[in-house]
Amino acid sequence: MNLKGTITAIIFFGMLLPFLSKAQQTSKTDSIDLFLMQKMRNEQIPALQLAVIRQGKIIKLNSYGTANPENSIPATDQSIFSINSITKAFVGIAIMQLAEEEKLKVSDPISLYIDSLPVPWQKITLKQVLTHTSGLPDITDADGEQLLGDGDENLAWKKVRMLPLEFNTGDKFSYNQTGYVILGKIITKLSGVHFTKFIEDRQFKAAGMDLTRFGDSFDIVHNSAGAYTLFKYVGGRRTKLDSPGTAYKQFPVFYRTAAGILSTARDMANWIIALQNGKLLKQQSSIETLWEPALLNNGKTGGFNQLTNGYALGWPTVTRASHPAVAPVGGGRSAVFIYTKDDLAIVVLTNLMGSNPDQYVDEIAGYYIPEMHQSNGFGLPPAIQKLRAALLKHGFEQAPIVLANLKKKTPSFELNENELNAWAYLLLKNKETKQALSIFKLNVKLYPESANTYDSLGEMQELMGDTNAALLNYKKSLALNPDHKNAFNRIKILSGN
């Protein structure tokens, strides 16, 4: 496993405090501001906007950092950010608006509205397309970076229809852009106007989203926060940079149901409030349908990861017992979490691709619901939470003994290798180095036949400067899995070969 979130807290563009928006400079800096500014320093995020909504009102609205590093232009609440795939949540609402008008049903097959579809596509439903369970071939390349046909709509549509289904419909979740191109065609056909105008009229204008528009990197957008990245292809290889560089993303008009909306945190907050107040969808049952995660053929939900572990009608979901949420995310740079049982919604927009604010929105929520703070163990799997509580009481260095006692009390108690490994990396990211080392060692003890546990322990030891121990564990990892690239590369580097 690569070192996720290896802690390189580079001070980016100096201190962020001088670049707070005018509104923020005139108010008292609170704990959330300090948390976000530290996060921005650690992740090298040039600019970030935050909106917090409770009881139908925006209770916190701040902008941080530099919207345009090239010219040192500070971010303000007028700065406009790309929200990328959060656009799909707007499409979900658009489909439900048409459903409320009885122009379609989400259970309808797409062939009811689109002619000349390949035979295997014809029984796929709108819901399966919306929830990425269709099995449709993707209209983008294997990396999801480039559209087929070099962005030409007719050529892309022709090429994708020649491809076979990727899996049996409903068997699994697989993020797919083709279905959203189809949805754009359907919205245009049934509404009588182009889907962009339908969404502009029925959502942007209806919600008072004055600065929101469709666009991409090609467009000249006043107050644009732009797009930046820490990665660049050098010699055909994706390479991490020491500091952000500019990124270029173009979304052809036909593709703008998949991505293409530009907005602000204030506008996004107004959109959430309008949805909750019945301005966008008239019936509560429509919202319930909109936010219900799809079940796969095996009865389980599928999603991006352990956090956003389900997907509804254009809306990723955080399906869990405590503080569940619907959580559209976009471009690894923007996130909207609506905590459906807590009267709380949080919008975080950034201009750094890969900054993944969805990873820390729960922590922001913790400032309003204290039990949600990561320091209180929130978000960890139940077994890890139980282990964590015992380790806090008896000491992380006693991990094997603590685990033995837990198993003695509850013989069925088990720890999952991947969950344990993920927790160890989280501890490392939070600079709890000794605790992380103890958990990596425990995972090796529990799973001695796993190449990944030795590789992760090796990374931890290398980071701590114990090169000899790291090299030994990398070699153990490679012995268990000769194809383990990370172990092979680290051995090569540490051995000086």
Strand partners, 60: 52
Q: Is residue 251 part of a domain?
A: no
Smallest Cα–Cα separation from 200: which of 267, 251, 139?
267
Spatial contact of 440 and 457, defined as CB atoms under 8 Å apart: yes
Q: Mean per-residue pLDDT for 148-155? A: 87
Q: The tokens 């209806």 sit on which residue?
A: 206
Task: Provide the CA 188 distance to its chain's centre, in angstroms.
Answer: 28
Residue 460 pLDDT greater than 50, yes or no? yes
Task: Tell me phi and psi for residue 228, to 5 degrees.
Answer: -135, 160
Place of tokens 């201009």: 351
Partners of 66 in the beta sheet?
A: 74
In a domain, 415, yes or no: yes
Two tokens, residue 299: 């009865």
Distance CA 66, CA 74 (A): 4
Q: What is the pLDDT of residue 28?
A: 58
Q: Where are the beta strands (DSSP E) in 340-464?
A: 344-350, 352-353
Q: Is 11 among the domain residues?
A: no
- pLDDT, one tens digit per residue, over 187-229 is 999 999 999 999 999 999 999 999 999 998 888 889 999 999 9
Q: Considering only CA atoms, which of 129, 93, 90, 94 is closest in space to residue 109?
A: 129
Confidence of residue 151 (pLDDT cuts 50, 70, 90): confident
Q: How many residues does the chain have?
A: 497
Burial of 261 (0-12, 13-18, 19+ CB in 10 A): buried
Measuring CA to CA, which residue among 313, 314, 345 is closest to residue 329? 314
Give the residue-averaged pLDDT of 484-495.
Answer: 91
- What CATH number has the domain bearing residue 406? 1.25.40.10
For residue 146, what are the contacts with CB-CB under 8 A and spacing of at least 6?
140
Least confident of 12-26, 75-89, 398-412, 451-465: 12-26
DSSP state of 294: P
Q: What is the pLDDT of residues 284-328, one digit of tens each?
A: 999 999 999 999 999 999 999 989 999 999 999 999 989 999 999
Question: What confidence tier does 143 reach under pLDDT thresholds 50, 70, 90?
Answer: low
Q: Choose between 27 and 26: higher pLDDT.
A: 27
CA 303 to chain centre: 10
Is pLDDT above 60 for 6? no
Query: What single-letter DSSP state applies at residue 279?
Result: S
Residue 465 lies in a domain: yes
DSSP-assigned states of every residue in 57-121: EEEEEEEEEEEEGGGTEEP-TT-BEEEETTHHHHHHHHHHHHHHTTS--TTSBGGGT-SS--GGG
| Assigned domain for 139 exists | no
DSSP string covering 305-364: SSSS-EE-SS-EEE--SSS-EE--EETTTEEEEEETTTTEEEEEEESEET--GGGTHHHH
| pLDDT of 242 | 84
- pTM beyond 0.95: no
Portion of the chain with pLDDT greater than 90, in percent: 81
pLDDT of residue 377: 86
Q: Is 463 contained in some domain?
A: yes
Domain membership of residue 90 (yes or no) is no
Please report the pLDDT score of residue 9 as a whole number: 34
- What pLDDT was estimated at residue 22? 40
Query: How many domains does the chain divide into?
Result: 1
- Tokens representing 288? 């319930």
Burial class (CB in 10 A: 0-12, 13-18, 19+), 350: buried
Residue 459 structural domain: 380-494
State how beta strands 237-246 and 344-350 pair.
Answer: unpaired
Q: What is the pLDDT of residues 63-118, one digit of tens each?
A: 999 999 999 999 999 999 999 999 999 999 999 999 999 999 999 999 999 998 99
Do residues 223 and 79 make contact, with C-beta atoms less than 8 angstroms apart? yes
| 50: in domain | no
C-alpha count within 13 angstroms, C-beta hemisphere, residue 83 = 29
